[in-house]
Structure 1
Amino acid sequence: MSDVIDSREAAATPTRDLVFTDADFARLRRMIGERAGIALSERKREMAYSRLARRVRLAGQRRFADYLDPLEADASHPEWEHFTNALTTNLTSFFREAHHFPLLAEHVARRSGPISIWCCAASTGEEPWSIAITLAETLGSAAERAEIVATDIDTRALADARAGIYPLAAVEKLSEERRKRFFLRGTGARSGLARVAPALRSRVHFAPLNLASGDWPVDGPFDAIFCRNLMIYFDKDTQQRVLKRFAGLMKPDGLLFAGHSENFSYFENPFVLRGQTVYRLRGGAR
């Protein structure tokens, strides 16, 4: 690559060692939108730079434009995985939005057949493990027939979720009974860590999945779908498209659990509000 600085470097700032122009930011916003359905706002420019800068350096580039070129030219380029992982936000905790879990317990307690639940934004695993704990506490030995499918677009986060190992601080807000029943406390080199117990680990199946893609390798119908605090990153067209596909994968009386900041009432969709950020299919059983 030439050492000559071209016009694309005009927006570089003295505090940055990499060239990141307005055009670069607009370009990566479009690329992550097309690839993952994520609508990256104008306010996320510094975040995008800080998260992708390491990947640009590892690619041996000085300019974001030179890093983005091969990705845009090849949809199967292996760097796409790292690009997407870097721009994905993972913020979660055990039993986050706690009001959902008693509703889930009530819902599954009334059912007679095997339970199937999809957690489609599994992140680092705290949410699907919370679902698994709820099912174990509610169904007892019958929870062994329940299946939880946990997916996420971020392959790094998914690997952490599958491992099921967390700092003790991550589980300290759980009751002592839950910690003793569902986690193993690490010793020696694992001191300060907690691992999800084997009995619970066998009930959650992890797989990568991009909700914005045409291929969803999951099989319904589901008794419940958890899609919490993910839709806020999609534009309205993507939200509508995803909701319609959810509807086709749910049992008639299934429930959709959404995030506290998400509201689907402002456009036509197949769901109606049942409770606080909990939805059911239109015309489905109440």
Structure 2
Amino acid sequence: MTQAFPPPSGHQPPSASELQAIAAILYEYAGIVINPNKSSMVQSRLAKRLRKLGLSDYQGYIALVKSEEGASERREMISALTTNVTHFFREKHHFDTLREKALPPLLARAKAGGRVRIWSAGSSNGQEAYTIAMVLTEMCSEVGSRDVRILASDIDPVMIARGTRGVYDSAALDGIPEPLQKKYTRPHPEGFEIVPQLRQLVSFRELNLHETWPMKGRFDIIFCRNVVIYFDQPAQTRLWQRFEACLNPGGWLFVGHSERVPLGGASRLETAGITTYRLPEEGAVQTIGESRWP
């Protein structure tokens, strides 16, 4: 007689209908699409949540996250099912463009007393934002005393906490050129940490890109790389339009290696390099009132 053993997690995998319900919740609140063949991934990532909550099955979990009382657990679910892959100086050509083309006139503006704002959207644990901060500081050592700030946002509160802390394991150090390692990192029991000089340039905030954005001012540069690929086509289109509307004239948009912004029609963006786009330089730099975020 063959004995059937339960899965290691102690929970049966979600059924097709349960997976569909979880996917619908994730899409409704985060715009992320889950493939129907991802049952094992969903089980492996949510099993810990079921155990922590003392739930025996996915039906109970789904009922919780759909309820009004389940708002905090929806955030935990989104965190568990979100893919966070990043490293320092990822897609180096973007930072070459930043250094050679995008930043020189912006830093000239900052030195003259102007305002410069950069947004790392979908920033994961902050390595992208700190890479931008390194490039800025290498080009302008006194950037910390200028009105230059980087907003790093992500839907995952765990990633936001890690970025704010600025501590990474030793393996992440490999992505940083050695001269910059010596200047902008220091040893930490868990690996290394980003020096305060860079951390003061970056503000980390939790943000769902599909909800209302509290920022009122426009940005000079937006990085949103390898994020939009997880959304369906209508959601992608809306986000590209919203990013464009948030750019100052002459502003830059950097996207992921497998992402493309549809040009033409109502869009005024132009190709400015590999997965790099820019608005035409016309009109004055605009701000839209005050922002609740730096």
TM-score for the superposition, normalised by structure 2? 0.85
Aligned AA (1:74): E
Taking structure 1 as reference, are residues 70 and 174 closer, same or farther at Cα in structure 2, changes over 3 Å only? closer
Q: Secondary structure at the match of 2:71?
A: coil
Pairwise CA distance, 1:273: 2.2
Sequence identity, in percent?
A: 35
Q: Counterpart in 2 of 1:93?
A: 87
In 2, the alpha carbon distance for the partners of 1:115 and 1:65 equals 48
Task: Please list every run of at least 4 consecutive aligned residues from structure 1 whose deviation after the TM superposition is greater than 4 angstroms.
Answer: 266-269
Taking structure 1 as reference, are residues 235 and 115 closer, same or farther at Cα in structure 2, changes over 3 Å only? same
CA contact (8 A) 2:144 2:197 kept: no
Aligned AA (2:105): R
Pairwise CA distance, 1:212: 1.1
Taking structure 1 as reference, are residues 284 and 238 closer, same or farther at Cα in structure 2, changes over 3 Å only? farther
Aligned AA (2:29): R
In 2, the alpha carbon distance for the partners of 1:233 and 1:75 equals 27
Per-residue deviation, residues 246-286 of structure 1 (Å, max 9, x unmatched): 122111100100000112238956233221000123x556x
2:11 aligned to which of 15, 18, 42: 18
Aligned AA (2:201): R
Q: Counterpart in 1 of 2:285?
A: none
Aligned AA (2:274): Q
1:272 aligns with 2:270: yes
Q: Counterpart in 2 of 1:136?
A: 137
In 2, the alpha carbon distance for the partners of 1:173 and 1:25 equals 37
Taking structure 1 as reference, are residues 248 and 30 closer, same or farther at Cα in structure 2, changes over 3 Å only? same
TM-score for the superposition, normalised by structure 1? 0.88
In 1, the alpha carbon distance for the partners of 2:44 and 2:57 equals 14
In 2, the alpha carbon distance for the partners of 1:117 and 1:225 equals 6
In 2, the alpha carbon distance for the partners of 1:95 and 1:18 equals 40
2:30 aligned to which of 36, 41, 45: 36
Pairwise CA distance, 1:110: 1.8
Taking structure 1 as reference, are residues 103 and 261 closer, same or farther at Cα in structure 2, changes over 3 Å only? same
Aligned AA (1:169): A
CA contact (8 A) 1:243 1:269 kept: no
Q: Secondary structure at the match of 1:92?
A: coil
In 1, the alpha carbon distance for the partners of 2:154 and 2:61 equals 25
Aligned AA (1:109): P
1:118 aligns with 2:124: no
Q: Secondary structure at the match of 2:37?
A: helix
Q: Counterpart in 1 of 2:287?
A: none
CA contact (8 A) 1:209 1:217 kept: no
Pairwise CA distance, 1:115: 1.8
CA contact (8 A) 1:272 1:280 kept: yes
- Count of residues in Structure 1 that have an aligned counterpart in Structure 2: 268
Aligned-residue Cα RMSD (Å) equals 2.0
In 1, the alpha carbon distance for the partners of 2:264 and 2:41 equals 30
Structure 2, unaligned runs of 5 or more: 283-294
In 2, the alpha carbon distance for the partners of 1:276 and 1:207 equals 28
Taking structure 1 as reference, are residues 24 and 268 closer, same or farther at Cα in structure 2, changes over 3 Å only? farther
In 2, the alpha carbon distance for the partners of 1:207 and 1:161 equals 10
Taking structure 1 as reference, are residues 149 and 137 closer, same or farther at Cα in structure 2, changes over 3 Å only? same
Per-residue deviation, residues 185-242 of structure 1 (Å, max 9, x unmatched): 23xxx1x6211111111100010000011x2122331110000000000111111111
In 1, the alpha carbon distance for the partners of 2:30 and 2:281 equals 30
Per-residue deviation, residues 156-211 of structure 1 (Å, max 9, x unmatched): 0110111001122211342221011111123xxx1x62111111111000100000
Pairwise CA distance, 1:43: 3.0
Pairwise CA distance, 1:65: 1.0
